[in-house]
Structure 1
């Protein structure tokens, strides 16, 4: 389980989430693959060393998103300019930064860095204690 703090605003949304607000996110990453079957290898029996997975998630997701503000790239230019001038950690996305879309973004990031014989099985991103988005590779034709 990985955790990070981030803020977002949903442009054009008809509820309170149109305002900039933050969450303590939790991300669950489940991988799939054949465990290594080499008795002499120090990682025998592992699909991927959990330490290696932790480093990948840290590098391609957490380092970028922790304590950042997600906004659509086409948000108010004056707001974006002001936030940049104030050196805020801003992530401008081509998508509405919902929990669901963030999860799909994370899926794409991870798929690009996982070792060849390791696939993503599922991802789950909690925005609050009771609200989350979930993705399963089995729901896609190109699962691995």
Structure 2
């Protein structure tokens, strides 16, 4: 792939890992750090510029850093997110962020562009030294 778009951001959220026998089974929070890496074989237009000069808009990749009331994950109680429910491990949250990001990226594509060349890798840190990577 000729282009890789990278961005990093943080968001703060709380959760409980239901059924976990230990401290993670109690309500606690994290300052999650996220790295997005989106690769593409070609450049495309975006909502804000109609020429083929972007892999994607950085705004599209950074949706999760928005406040929960604005559609992001910042200051969310992750267990309240229907698609996550009781499964709020780093692995499940990383896959969720991947899925929702790709939905947003694909929504920005022009008709006839299936985005087959777009590949996303999400790295999610729960702590400064514990992370999970998810990609398809």
TM-score (norm 2): 0.69
Q: Which residue, out of 83, 96, 101, partners 2:87? A: 96
Aligned 1:38-77 pairs, distance under 5 A: 44=53, 46-48=54-56, 52-53=57-58, 55-59=59-63, 61-63=64-66, 64-71=72-79
Q: Which residue, out of 103, 106, 114, partners 1:112? A: 103
Which residue does the alignment assign to 1:127? Answer: 126
1:90-125: CA deviation from partner (whole Å, max 9, x where unpaired): 434345101110011111101112134362331100
| Kept in 2: contact 1:95–1:101 (CA 8 A) | no
Q: How many equivalent residue pairs? A: 110
Alignment gaps of 5+ in structure 2: 1-7, 45-49, 67-71
Structure showing greater Rg: 1
1:49-97: CA deviation from partner (whole Å, max 9, x where unpaired): xxx22x11343x23221011112xxxxxxxxxxxxxxxxxx43434510
Aligned 1:8-23 pairs, distance under 5 A: 8-23=15-30
* Coordinate RMSD, CA, aligned: 2.2
Q: Provide the secondary structure at the position in 2 that maps to 1:65.
A: coil
Alignment gaps of 5+ in structure 1: 72-89, 138-144
